[in-house]
Structure 1
Amino acid sequence: MKISVLPADRMKFLIADRNRKMAASAHAYVRGSTSRFYQWLENSERSSLPEGPELWICGDCHVGNLGPVASRSGALAVQIRDLDQTVIGNPAHDLVRLALSLATAARSSDLPGVTTALMLERMMDGYGAAFAPEAEHETADEAMAVPKTVKLVMRQASRRSWKHLADERIEGMDPVIPLGSRFWPLTNEEHEAVRALFDTDRLRALVTILRNPGEDDHVKVVDAAYWRKGCSSLGRLRMAALVKVGRGRSARHCLMDIKEAVQASAPHAPDANMPADQGERVVMGARHLSPFLGTRMASAPLLGKSVFVRELLPQDLKLEIETLTRDEALNVAEFLAHVVGIAHARQLSVSDRSAWLAELQRNRSRALDAPSWLWNSTVDLVALHEAAYLQHCRRYAFEEKAA
């Protein structure tokens, strides 16, 4: 029996869902604890991180936030795919966040600690390669071999169509969003606000941007619902809108993701010149870090909140990495770090790239070809997350028992 959650009951169900997801594994807990990550990092007694050049960073750079993304022209590449936390800040924060994610993925795969040490070495190799003077690649797969795990997801993404997206997201081809465990009803006010949103020139332009020139650009919201999704966006406005573009037999449907943008937990540079509007901050960060995705996004006000909107494409997938072999773990670490490196490097001049690369080479020990600040931060954070994860599971077990 499907449960359709009323608007007044959303928070109760969202909290329970988040607790369940975060109890699934230590790696899942990392994905849902961005704020605590920065609190722990700030309070760490280890050596401080290097001050990198001020540029747009992801801010929540874990494995699940990277994956295949389609461009407006239909090209496909692995890029950063979640930019809620993007700010102008220290690129070292993205490296530490990615290292923690990879380390917990390795532990979930029952790989020894030696593998984690080697993963960090390969991470720095992949990241540093993006800053070499001759490195002008737009995507990571142009520069290095794609790991098998990533290649399988890329192949799956390249074969997907609207039918796959409809079956996966809205459970069929009918122009309706079925209410149930995933999608919940909106209030009348929320329905009207979504319809009004897509009557604006900015959103009409976004919906029609992927269509062929000359096509009928008539835009109509067919259905909309609250979307139960994610761990870190608890309590934020999140909606799905099914929109029809054109008329008659030539009309096409598209699924739009509407997400509230709030103040980022990631620390930003004190004098950073970022948009005051949170939705515009996310869009601007996306255009610098993940151009395939950024050009398909727009910000707007909705019900007194700042939101950002994007069309969901069948090719957009997240990397779900739960089990890895030793060799695959090393290859994935190098490749994903190179993806992040390209996103950072494209924002810098040649001289700034060289200066940051030189800074990254410092503090490397003879025993470990990775900077001590990265290793020490990862060790501290793994220990803190493991303890917090077990405490979370204990609380979750008591809640389940009481229920």
Structure 2
Amino acid sequence: MARSAHAYLRGSTVHFYQWLHSQRGRTLPHGPNVWICGDCHVGNLGPIADRHGRIDIHIRDLDQSVIGNPVHDLVRLALSLATAVRGSDLPGVTTAHMLEAMMRGYEASFEEAPAGMPKRPPQVQACMRDAVERTWKHLAHARVSNTRPSLPLGRHFWPLSRAESAAIEAFCATPALQRLVSALQGRAADARVAMLDSAFWVKGCSSLGLLRYAVLLSVGEADERDYCLIDVKEAVRAAAPRGAHVHMPRDNAHRVLEGARQLSPTLGKRMMATRFLDHGVFVRELLPQDLKLELDTLNRQEAMAAADYLARVLGIAHARQMDEGTRKNWLADLRLNRSRTLDAPSWLWTSVVQLIGRHEEGYLEHCRRYMYALGKAQ
């Protein structure tokens, strides 16, 4: 998290909501209660492949998904984009134009006859191109040791305890996992599934302190054998606030699964929820085409195009859950509170300005603590 301000943003979801609800002045509007991502930063969007191999840009991380206020996704995405703009050393006026473009894209998803998606921005198009070209060998090179059917123990993969190994072997023999693995196009429903290796997975910020496992499987017989990598991740209570008087699955793994089905059906159809060692976990096969979107270096035009495009992806995920009347009313609410100098709601601009300050303060303090801890360790 100390590597960059944007890396810190990705790992500070709890702080984000604490900061958001401690803002001075204006309060956020209350949108209709729908399933929201809850952690909608740029890195949580990207190419996702469906069970038939078709690829498109979707929300790709639903750990924080709840039924709540869609404004929270808007502010989180706006802060993420503003951080990317600052990281590209662009002037502050670009942030203002970027927020305007973002709102235009989001609002377009709620119009009575929404237009199709615009041309993909260069960074998004490059990520899509990489996703289309990736094969199992690319995934194996990144996650598995030189395409060998084993997980290389070391920095990212740790050995399991006997209890963990036994539980994973039992899980791999269940009909539920068989159905999940055989759901992809080209795999027979009765294909033989065998576990080759498993390990504790030390992964990103959202996994800190949680159970997470990588499981390497073979599918089919020796002459037509396929390999797949399964991600088993513990689900915990979301930091994102839920709406009042809403009904969601009480089990956190089933909450994440339902959030995925509503917001990213392509991904939700590739997931399952279960219990593992008395913890709720959600499970999915990692496909080579599933990539994280990165906005490293932007110019003004690229920043605006990326904001418009990604906001449309988010808007479509929200809009599909609303009836026509709700979409119309929500669109009317979004178009309020404009000023003569900014074609974006004043509450969004105020939130981003204040949150950038709190975020920068938190990031520098985190770096100071990290430097101190590293010095003591040495």
Whether the 8 Å CA contact 1:71–1:293 is kept in 2: the answer is yes
1:260 aligns with 2:254: no
Give the distance between the partners of 1:300 and 1:214, measured in 2 at CA. Answer: 23
Give the distance between the partners of 1:253 and 1:46, measured in 2 at CA. Answer: 54
The residue that corresponds to 1:94 in the other structure is 73
The residue that corresponds to 2:130 in the other structure is 156
The residue that corresponds to 2:353 in the other structure is 379
Give the distance between the partners of 1:119 and 1:151, measured in 2 at CA. Answer: 19
Determine helix, strand or coil for the equivalent of 2:141. Answer: helix
> Following TM superposition, where does structure 1 have runs of at least 4 consecutive aligned residues deviating by more than 6 angstroms?
none
- Opposite residue 345 of structure 2, the aligned amino acid is P
Whether the 8 Å CA contact 2:10–2:41 is kept in 1: the answer is yes
Whether the 8 Å CA contact 1:127–1:341 is kept in 2: the answer is yes
Give the distance between the partners of 1:215 and 1:355, measured in 2 at CA. Answer: 45
Residue 171 of structure 1: how far off its partner (Å): 2.9
Give the distance between the partners of 1:277 and 1:217, measured in 2 at CA. Answer: 31
Deviation track 1:86-138 (CA, whole Å, cap 9, x = no partner) reads 00000000000001101111111111111111110000000001111112x7x
The residue that corresponds to 1:284 in the other structure is 258
Whether the 8 Å CA contact 1:60–1:85 is kept in 2: the answer is yes
Determine helix, strand or coil for the equivalent of 1:43. Answer: coil
Deviates most, 196-205 or 173-182: 196-205
The residue that corresponds to 2:249 in the other structure is 275
- Paired positions, count: 377
1:233 aligns with 2:207: yes
Give the distance between the partners of 1:316 and 1:104, measured in 2 at CA. Answer: 24
Residue 316 of structure 1: how far off its partner (Å): 0.4
1:166 aligns with 2:145: no
User: Gaps spanning 5+ residues in structure 1: where?
Assistant: 1-21
Of 90, 94, 100, the match for 1:121: 100
Flag the 1:39–1:352 CA change in 2: closer, same or farther, 3 A: same
Give the distance between the partners of 2:22 and 2:147, measured in 1 at CA. Answer: 50
The residue that corresponds to 2:40 in the other structure is 61
Give the distance between the partners of 1:216 and 1:201, measured in 2 at CA. Answer: 10
1:395 aligns with 2:369: yes
The residue that corresponds to 1:29 in the other structure is 8
Whether the 8 Å CA contact 1:55–1:88 is kept in 2: the answer is yes
Deviation track 1:4-39 (CA, whole Å, cap 9, x = no partner) reads xxxxxxxxxxxxxxxxxx111111111000000001
Determine helix, strand or coil for the equivalent of 2:119. Answer: coil
- Opposite residue 125 of structure 1, the aligned amino acid is R
Residue 258 of structure 1: how far off its partner (Å): 0.5
Give the distance between the partners of 1:203 and 1:272, measured in 2 at CA. Answer: 31
Give the distance between the partners of 1:67 and 1:114, measured in 2 at CA. Answer: 27
Deviation track 1:336-392 (CA, whole Å, cap 9, x = no partner) reads 111100100011111111110000001011110000110101111000000111111
Q: What is the TM-score with the length of structure 1 in the denominator?
A: 0.92
Determine helix, strand or coil for the equivalent of 1:172. Answer: helix
Residue 212 of structure 1: how far off its partner (Å): 2.6
Of 318, 324, 327, the match for 1:350: 324
Give the distance between the partners of 2:117 and 2:371, measured in 1 at CA. Answer: 46
1:105 aligns with 2:84: yes
Residue 66 of structure 1: how far off its partner (Å): 0.3
Residue 288 of structure 1: how far off its partner (Å): 0.6
Whether the 8 Å CA contact 1:216–1:247 is kept in 2: the answer is no
The residue that corresponds to 1:179 in the other structure is 153
- Opposite residue 336 of structure 2, the aligned amino acid is R
Give the distance between the partners of 1:371 and 1:165, measured in 2 at CA. Answer: 42
Give the distance between the partners of 2:5 and 2:76, measured in 1 at CA. Answer: 14
Residue 197 of structure 1: how far off its partner (Å): 1.2
Give the distance between the partners of 1:147 and 1:185, measured in 2 at CA. Answer: 42
The residue that corresponds to 2:18 in the other structure is 39
Deviation track 1:279-337 (CA, whole Å, cap 9, x = no partner) reads 01001100110111110000010001000000000000001112211111111011111
1:362 aligns with 2:329: no
- Opposite residue 156 of structure 2, the aligned amino acid is R
Residue 270 of structure 1: how far off its partner (Å): 1.9
Determine helix, strand or coil for the equivalent of 2:147. Answer: coil
Give the distance between the partners of 1:147 and 1:41, measured in 2 at CA. Answer: 29
- Opposite residue 59 of structure 1, the aligned amino acid is G
Give the distance between the partners of 1:248 and 1:317, measured in 2 at CA. Answer: 29
Residue 216 of structure 1: how far off its partner (Å): 4.2
Whether the 8 Å CA contact 1:296–1:310 is kept in 2: the answer is yes
Counterpart mapping for 1:290-369 below 5 A:
290-369=264-343
Whether the 8 Å CA contact 1:258–1:308 is kept in 2: the answer is yes
Flag the 1:155–1:264 CA change in 2: closer, same or farther, 3 A: same
Give the distance between the partners of 1:232 and 1:127, measured in 2 at CA. Answer: 26
Give the distance between the partners of 1:123 and 1:231, measured in 2 at CA. Answer: 26
Give the distance between the partners of 1:292 and 1:299, measured in 2 at CA. Answer: 16
Determine helix, strand or coil for the equivalent of 1:333. Answer: helix
Residue 210 of structure 1: how far off its partner (Å): 0.6
Give the distance between the partners of 1:213 and 1:368, measured in 2 at CA. Answer: 53
Residue 215 of structure 1: how far off its partner (Å): 5.8
User: Gaps spanning 5+ residues in structure 2: where?
Assistant: none
Give the distance between the partners of 1:214 and 1:160, measured in 2 at CA. Answer: 23
Give the distance between the partners of 2:179 and 2:156, measured in 1 at CA. Answer: 28
Deviation track 1:150-196 (CA, whole Å, cap 9, x = no partner) reads 10010110011111111111132111111111111111110111111
Give the distance between the partners of 1:318 and 1:331, measured in 2 at CA. Answer: 18
Whether the 8 Å CA contact 1:46–1:377 is kept in 2: the answer is no
Whether the 8 Å CA contact 1:33–1:232 is kept in 2: the answer is no
Counterpart mapping for 1:48-87 below 5 A:
48-87=27-66
